[in-house]
Structure 1
Amino acid sequence: MMINMNETRLCTIEQIEQFLSGCLQVEFTKSGDDSERYEHISRVLKRFDYPRQGKREKGVLLKYLQVTSGYSRAQVTRLVTQWHTNRLATVPLSKRYRAPAAPFARKYTAIDIALLAEMDKANEDVCGPAIAHLLQRAYGVYGDARYERLVGLSVSHLYNLRKSTGYQALRVVFAKTNPVCNHIGVRKVPRPNGRVGFVRIDTVHQGDLDGIKGVYHITCVDSVSQWQVEACVQGISEAFLLPVLELVIEQFPFVIRGFHSDNGSEYINGPVAAILEKLRIEQTKSRSRHSNDNALAESKNASVVRKHMGFEHIPQKYAQPINAFYQETFNPWLNFHRPCMFATEIISPKGKIIKRYKDEDVKTPLECLVLLSVKDLVTLKEGITLDALQAQAKSKTDLAAAQEMQRAKSELFASFQKQKRRA
């Protein structure tokens, strides 16, 4: 249904405001010719003497014209500006734009693009000026009439044609990923066969802020007992990583036999390989297309590091206090008092190995270490005994150790805030 409205009785700003407040539920759409709406805008602006109105009144009138004309606020503002510019010359509002009578003619056809692609392919995509010169020689020197239009092709437009859809369809190139040939480490998944001492290691970055790097957390966990050691460094360069890496290996109570990491350069390098070779530790690295080779360390990143250290940026200068917190409080709590889930492997009737997590399989890494020692699967370091480790674990309850860890962690983060306020 169409309703014609006579709005000439609206003569004051107050009446306009009452009209706008009462027609919020009424939807006005653009109908008819644009010239009718232009005349309506001109009448309203003239009747209310728009140039002499204040800022508030002008806003009300613009809102009114927006509602009654169906135009956007930006379009109404442009039309009001046009009316204000031409009002002294009594030039009516009119459209200043129109659709082109015909689309722009296309100078270079699909055949020209195919010739350009052929020339690029034969010369292995040399620079634009060289290809433009070859196109000119193809027509001027060798008389090939197919290149007549391409003689005047500018270098800048040559690059535009290379980006076109037709050119890209002709120059689809599929390249395989080149394998990284690095002799350091053996590309295989470690096979501990129930023995303790094959660790997985991974690095977690604490984020950047305004181009400033954050600290790096190092997660090292045994693949059988889940004995875990956390450390923190300022950066993953050799100067920071090597001393902390030696400290991480020293914190394990048993002999390390295998060292597995991903293919990151922080671990696959000569100095790290030299340290592991000196300690007679086998170095292995993840295989291609086997994303679960280092899954244990990566899962600890989420369940331990991110849970307790969060995701916010921590500046590099706090690496030393974080490392002290890890060594003195956090790592003992992880291994003596924090339970872990250990899987029970079941062979299905089809021969597939299925892992099940039962309630009786929940135990701390120390408890798992004691059970494995009975089967003679643990080789402790010299001077370390299971009795000493158990006595250290029984020196405080699980609740007391967890509360002590939380207090130390709160003090650690509070020290960060104090230093920020001082700065």
Structure 2
Amino acid sequence: MKTRREIVYEASKGYKKLSKKEKTERLDNLVAITGYNRDHASRLLSQHDRCVYVKDVSGRSYRLVGDVRKKEKRSRKRKYDTEVFKALKQIWAIMDYPCGKRLAPCMSWLVPKLEAFGEIKIEQEVREKLLTISASTIDRLLKGEKKKMALKSRKSTKPGTLLKNQIEVRTFADWNRAKVGFMEMDLVSHEGGNPRGDFAFSLTLTDVCSGWTENRAVKNRAQKWTFEAIDIIKKRLPFSIKGLDSDNDSTFINHHMLHYCEENHITFTRSRAGNKNDGCYVEQKNWSIVRRTVGYARYDTDEEVDILNQIYDVLRLYVNMFQPVAKLISKERQGAKVKKIYDTPKTPCHRLLESPDVPEEVKAQLQKTFDELNPAALKREIDRLLKELTKAYLKKKTEVEQIDRELIFT
């Protein structure tokens, strides 16, 4: 833009003294170089060096000279002021800091719900702005608040070779994503960078169609705890499990899991070795739910496992009832770029309410639970339990350090 203004400045020198034919030629050249509209370019050339005389209230005269190199700053009153930003920031924190594309579609039911529970108190003007705010405006207003936290991932999956040939391989595109009940499962380790000895794992099950996710902490990878966790999750689900898909971890690829699925009439499949995208739905939840909530510390005591499960008991309601999820509809390649098209973000609860696979009595119970729950209260309870988990971890760490010191000096 600055270069264009310099070009106009050079072209405007002596423009007023040229003949009509010369003015036309110079105007044609300027339009060709800058790409300006012809009327706009003509106005710029004619306004340069134009003089205007004005007087102030005291009668003093001033001579104003036009200069195309200087651009007038436009002043416009901000639509989304400080009050809107404060309310938006509070709502954003209650919803666990989602992006604008996930948060904007929820405003229609989220703002009235938080007002009804007395979590936010806003004026009518602010309320109307929040109900009509766009996703891009949310991201722009919260840009300064988002530059935080980048955690490093770790992997502790051990490949299982047993029964691989008997368990069908499923790729990313094979699931029927329009039918509720087909789930991906995975284990998230809590070894804290030290893979020696026993430590806790979080079992994650995610429904491909709705995004409904359940988590359960187990003491270790033993079959006893894994099946116990699956049974607890199975009883909590608002739908029946039709299919289970896992990676090639030996915790899942074994006779016990195959027999369990056959007894319960569950389709059991596995992903291809080395292809994490085959389990993309559960892998994404491993990060967005487990890692973002409880982090990467080492949890290996019964107390820590108990607190983890208390967190997951509350977190399942917070995530499935109030956290919107955007589903990929299609991908279109345009040269070297891939354009991804997503649907309107909805919570797993709302997706189940719209699904024909869920019975009406289950939908009624889901709607009742949604109406009764306060997302801000759930968030506060999660934060309180996280503080308890931190205390338990620090207490254990102190005791271990004390034992180490005693061993050194004995």
TM normalised by structure 1 equals 0.50
Report deviation, 1:230: 0.6
**How far apart, in 1, do the equivalents of 2:242 and 2:188 lie?**
24
Tell me how far 1:387 sits from its aligned partner.
1.4
Query: Hey, what does 2:349 align to over in structure 1?
Result: 366
* Match in the other structure for 1:235: 220
Deviation digits for residues 310-360 of structure 1, max 9, x if unmatched? 11111243454135314531111111122222223366799x9953236xx
Deviation at 1:288, TM superposition (A): 4.2
Say which of 186, 194, 199 aligns to 2:168: 186
Report the equivalent of 1:291: 276
Which of 307, 310, 315 is the matching residue for 2:292? 307
Kindly report which structure 2 residues correspond to 1:114-193, keeping only aligned pairs within 5 A, or say none: 182-189=164-171, 190-193=174-177
Closer, same or farther: CA 346–238 of 1 in aligned 2, 3 Å: closer
Partner of 2:370: 393
In 1, the alpha carbon distance for the partners of 2:163 and 2:312 equals 36
Matched, 1:206 2:190: yes
The residue type equivalent to 1:235 in the other structure is N
Q: List runs of 5+ in structure 1 lacking aligned partners.
A: 1-178
Residue 342 of structure 2 corresponds to which residue in structure 1? 357
Whole-angstrom CA distance in 2 between matches of 1:366 and 1:210: 37
Shift of the alpha carbon at 1:280?
0.5
CA offsets 1:272-307 (integer angstroms, 9 cap, x no match): 112111110000001246431111111111121111
Q: Distance in 2 between matches of 1:279 and 1:210?
A: 34
Q: Aligned pair count?
A: 236
Name the counterpart of 1:412: 389
How many angstroms does 1:209 deviate by?
3.8
1:342 to 305, 318, 327: 327
Alpha carbons 1:233, 1:323 under 8 Å: kept: no
- Identity of counterpart residues, as a percentage? 23
Q: Which runs of 4+ in 1 moved over 4 A?
A: 346-350, 418-423
Which of 218, 221, 235 is matched with 1:250 structurally? 235
Tell me what 1:317 maps to.
302
Contact map agreement 2:245 2:269 (CA 8 A) in 1: yes
CA distance in 2, matches of 1:345, 1:209: 41
Q: Distance in 2 between matches of 1:240 and 1:234?
A: 7
* Structure 2 runs not aligned, ≥5 long: 1-160, 401-410
Q: Which amino acid letter does the alignment assign opposite residue 321 of structure 1?
A: D
**Residue 231 of structure 1 aligns to a residue in which SS?**
strand
CA contact (8 A) 1:215 1:318 kept: no
Whether the aligned pair in 1 keeps the contact of 2:321 and 2:348 (CA below 8 Å) is yes
Task: Write the letter of the residue equivalent to 1:403.
Answer: R
Q: What amino acid is the match of 2:164?
A: N
Q: Distance in 2 between matches of 1:181 and 1:385?
A: 37
Structure 1 pair 210–180 and aligned structure 2 pair: CA distance change class (3 A): closer
Give the secondary structure class of the aligned counterpart of 1:260. Answer: strand
Which one-letter code corresponds to 1:367 in the other structure?
Answer: H
CA contact (8 A) 2:258 2:268 kept: yes
Secondary structure, aligned partner of 2:164: coil
Q: Paired residue for 1:170?
A: none
Between 1 and 2, higher relative CO (CA 8 Å, sep ≥ 6) is seen in: 2
1:341 and 1:363 in contact (8 A); partners too: yes
1:422 Cα deviation from its structure 2 partner? 6.6
The code of the aligned residue for 1:202 comes to: D
Taking structure 2 as the reference length, what is the TM-score of the superposition? 0.52
CA shift in 2, pair 1:320/1:346, >3 Å: closer
